[in-house]
Amino acid sequence: MILLNGWDRCPCDVEPSQERSGPERGWGATTPRVVGRMGLFKSKLPKTGRPLRPKEKEMLKSPLIIFVMGGPGCGKGTQCKNMATKYGFCHVGLGQLLRQEAQRGTRRGQKIREIMLRGLLVPTGIILDMINDKMLSCPESRGFLIDGFPRELIQAKEFERIVGRPPDVVMVFDCSMETMVRRALHRGQVEHRGDDCEPAILQRLETHYTLCEPVFTFYQQKNLLRNILAEEAPENIFAKCCSVIESLQRLEGVGG
Ligand code: AMP
């Protein structure tokens, strides 16, 4: 087992700074009942991203930008890797980038690790800077798969304000809560990911169900939302992802 600066520690070992109280949510009789507050964390970390220079905005005008949303264990990471390979896109995996940052011995890294182990959301400024830095570091890429974004409405709006354009499409991996919990618990055992244990998974689900809903509405109104039923075998899910990508007019003639 690889120990990553305490990254494999379950969040039950982390002192809680947020009360877990609030209304129970009715997600069906067979699903675990999740109680708690919205998954937001109060900290001094930046809430807004740095503005882009006109030249940087120009660079991000033409590549395809695809947001990929879904709860923990819905399979978005695996499918993003497959899509990135097939279409030569750059995979911007936020969870992965944040875990790398969390392993640094800096105060900022420690704060991020603490937030993630509790299953809460890292402040928007950090997320936007991370996405933009990664996209700008791949100027030749014809497409970006931004995996795990946006997770709350302010992130969606900040992206448009800073980058100056919306995404081309938003994929949502739709999965039952039971499936997500089962997959995430299994991954926690195999990969020793500290936030893949029960208390953190439940908090991440709470965060997902409460904060993502307004984001879905926002993109539904722009006609950018594409639901992908993510309960089936990975190859069937991949086929659905490919048909979404290939239906984008801007990619006409691209079949991988
Ligand atoms: P994931 O690997 O996508 O399940 O993300 C793992 C954790 O990283 C989440 O539970 C959050 O703590 C953090 N995270 C990932 N994406 C975001 C985001 N867009 N905004 C805030 N926090 C995020």
- For the stretch 65-104, pLDDT in tens is 999 999 999 999 999 999 999 999 999 999 999 999 999 9
| pLDDT value, residue 251 | 57
| pLDDT value, residue 48 | 87
pLDDT tens digit sequence for 133-174: 999 999 999 999 999 999 999 999 999 999 999 999 999 999
| Mutational pocket test of ligand 1: of 94, 158, 202, the residue with most ligand atoms within 8 Å of the beta carbon | 94
- Give the mean pLDDT of 178-202: 94
**Ligand 1 pocket member 76 (CB < 6 A):** no
**Ligand 1 pocket member 71 (CB < 6 A):** no
**Ligand 1 pocket member 115 (CB < 6 A):** yes
Answer yes or no: are the C-beta atoms of 86 and 190 closer than 8 Å: no
Amino acid at 29: A
Question: Atom 19 of ligand 1 has which residue's CA nearest to it?
Answer: 149
Looking at the chain, the whole-number percentage of residues with pLDDT higher than 90 is 77
Ligand 1 atom, smallest distance to 200 CA: 10
pLDDT tens digit sequence for 194-229: 899 999 999 999 999 999 999 999 999 999 999 999
| pLDDT value, residue 43 | 73
| pLDDT value, residue 164 | 97
Task: Provide the token pair at 255.
Answer: 């079949």
Give the per-residue SS3 of the chain. Answer: CCCCCCCCCCHHHCCCCCCCCCCCCCCCCCCCCCCCCCCCCCCCCCCCCCCCCHHHHHHCCCCEEEEEEECCCCCHHHHHHHHHHHHCCEEEEHHHHHHHHHCCCCHHHHHHHHHHHCCCCCCHHHHHHHHHHHHHCCCCCCEEEEECCCCCHHHHHHHHHHHCCCCCEEEEEECCHHHHHHHHHHHHHHHCCCCCCHHHHHHHHHHHHHHCHHHHHHHHHCCCEEEEECCCCHHHHHHHHHHHHHCCHHHCCCCC
**Ligand 1 pocket member 113 (CB < 6 A):** no
**Of residues 57 and 2, more confidently modeled:** 57
Ligand 1 atom, smallest distance to 95 CA: 2
Task: Provide the token pair at 177.
Answer: 């809560």
**Ligand 1 pocket member 69 (CB < 6 A):** no
| pLDDT value, residue 25 | 30
Ligand 1 atom, smallest distance to 120 CA: 12
Question: Atom 10 of ligand 1 has which residue's CA nearest to it?
Answer: 119
| pLDDT value, residue 41 | 65
Answer yes or no: are the C-beta atoms of 51 and 128 closer than 8 Å: no
* Mean pLDDT score across all residues of the chain: 85
Contacts of 232 (CB under 8 A, 6+ apart): none
**Ligand 1 pocket member 102 (CB < 6 A):** no
Measured CA distances, 83 to 2, 66, 68, 233 (Å): 28, 11, 11, 16
**Ligand 1 pocket member 72 (CB < 6 A):** yes
Looking at the chain, the whole-number percentage of residues with pLDDT higher than 70 is 80
Ligand 1 center–CA 96 separation, angstroms: 9
**Of residues 144 and 2, more confidently modeled:** 144
Amino acid at 84: A
Beta bridge partner(s), residue 229: 174
